[in-house]
Structure 1
């Protein structure tokens, strides 16, 4: 059990049988009336964000979450199959629980968040940036760079990304999988 005084960003709590991560919180002590805590909570399973206010000192159930590195192996009917890099245990994870799954390629390491008591997988987070090779894109035209123009490009995982006109087929680019946007050429 934890109280509102124990709140911190990233903490996972159980509200009405649902798990939520605390995105941000603010302790408020108005001039009149009791103190309270204003929070933004993100649902672990659905990803929806909600605002909730707690009275100061209220007890909440803290959920212990462990972050473990898993390596992506392959995809089949059960979902995406991963191997724990420490114990070599293999588990399937549904694609809905992986943020940026369209940029996942074999051998990538993701951080899986596991409920410590029940050993159930909550979410899988891709790295901040992934480097992928462009398999197809239209050739850019010279002199077409007066504006910040982009064109569609297909990467090796089959996902489509908007890239600047100077990017060619066969180049490696850095992508942010959370937004699906081009960051820069890979060095």
Structure 2
């Protein structure tokens, strides 16, 4: 059992006969009245997202989720295909379940796929990925003031802020949990 006060991003639980994953949450302690948890949850079974509030002491049953290392193969426009590295079985996944991970994965990259009762519902890239910068403004010589950043686009199309010394063609390490630049490789 898990209480609503213990909600964190990615936690899955059973409520009203459906399985939900916490997409976003906020613990709210107003000056007057009881504390509550405001959460954005996604149905694992049908993909619907809803905003709800919970009493922090409400209890829910944990959902048993299987995670598998898979390789991203290709997309046919609507579905994204992943291959199980141990059985070589290919499974299609809808765009809504892959959307956030697409910023950080390329074809043939390994990802972690979460599955509930045989149905994939979440794709997570590795915590750190190395991608090539495809577009950014050139840095000016001598412009090395600390903390200054500029926008850069990487090979997946994701745009993030990088230090001024990063140029087109550089390979950079990105933290996929926050989408932030970590270092140049």
**Fold conserved between structures, TM > 0.5:** yes
- Quote how far apart the aligned CAs of 1:108 are: 1.1
Shift of 1:149: 1.7
Q: Please say if residues 19 and 43 of structure 1, whose CA atoms lie closer than 8 Å, have aligned partners that are also in contact.
A: no
Between Structure 1 and Structure 2, how many residues are aligned?
A: 171
Runs of 4 or more, structure 1, over 4 Å off, are: 7-11, 21-24, 38-42, 45-51
Give runs of aligned pairs for residues 7-22 of structure 1, distance below 5 A: 12-21=12-21
Q: CA deviation at 1:51?
A: 4.5
- CA 1:139/1:11 → structure 2, altered by over 3 Å: closer, same or farther? closer
Does the 8 Å CA contact 2:74/2:81 hold for their aligned counterparts?
A: yes
For residue 123 of structure 1, report the CA deviation from its aligned partner: 0.9
Q: How many Å apart are 1:97 and its aligned residue?
A: 1.1
Alignment of 1:82-161 (within 5 A): 82-98=82-98, 99-115=100-116, 117=117, 119-161=118-160
Which consecutive unaligned segments of at least 5 residues does structure 1 have? 25-37
- Judged with a 3 Å threshold, the aligned counterparts in structure 2 of structure 1 residues 50 and 128 are, in CA distance, closer, same or farther, namely farther
Query: In the aligned structure 2, how far is the partner of 1:160 from the partner of 1:64?
Result: 35
Measured at CA, do residues 3 and 79 of structure 1 come closer, stay the same or move farther in structure 2, by a change above 3 Å? closer
Which deviations, in whole Å up to 9, do the C-alpha atoms of 1:138-175 show, x marking residues without a partner? 21012322242212222122322221110122211011
| Root mean square deviation of aligned Cα | 3.3
Structure 2 gap segments, 5+ residues each: 26-35
Instruction: Give the corresponding residue for 1:64.
Output: 64
Of 81-90 and 61-70, the range deviating more from structure 2: 61-70
| Distance of 1:134 and 1:55 partners within structure 2 | 47
Cα distance per residue 1:12-54 (max 9 Å; x no partner): 3211244234799xxxxxxxxxxxxx76766244676755226
Structure 1 residue 102 displacement after superposition: 2.0
Contact 1:71 1:108 (8 Å CA) reproduced: yes
Are 1:43 and 2:45 an aligned pair? no
The superposition leaves residues 86-138 of structure 1 with CA deviations (integer Å, 9 ceiling, x where unpaired) of: 111111212321233122101111111101x3x11121111111100112322
CA contact (8 A) 2:103 2:157 kept: yes
Within 2, Cα distance between the matches of 1:67 and 1:90? 15
Distance in 1 of aligned mates of 2:127 and 2:49: 18
Determine helix, strand or coil for the equivalent of 1:183: strand
Q: Which has the larger radius of gyration?
A: 1
